[in-house]
Amino acid sequence: MFIRVEMAPEAAGDKDLAKKLAEVCPVNIFGVAPDGSAVVIAENVDECVLCELCVQAAPPGGVRVHKLYSGEVLKR
């Protein structure tokens, strides 16, 4: 695992944002749970291409991508 994706609870619970994240991620890291909340699909995390589309789609602090190999955090 080279990265870790974190979502703020308020971002994960936003049903509109959940749909948007699922749409913008080119490698399907985000999905929509039965209750409409956003979920991170753990088995897809290593496919991340660090495009930052999820970070830009979410409100500031909503999504963070931690590069475990360098300590850098992609965030807004």
Pairwise CA distance, residues 66 & 61, whole Å? 13
Stated pTM of the model: 0.93
pLDDT of residue 45: 96
The one-letter code for the residue type at 45 is: V
Q: What is the mean pLDDT of each run of 10 residues along the chain (76 residues)?
A: 94 98 98 98 96 98 97 97
Q: Domain locations in the chain?
A: 3-74
**CATH dotted code for 3-74:** 3.30.70.20
Altogether, the residues listed in the chain come to a count of 76
**Distance between CA 56 and CA 61 in Å, rounded?**
10
Supply the pLDDT for residue 66: 97
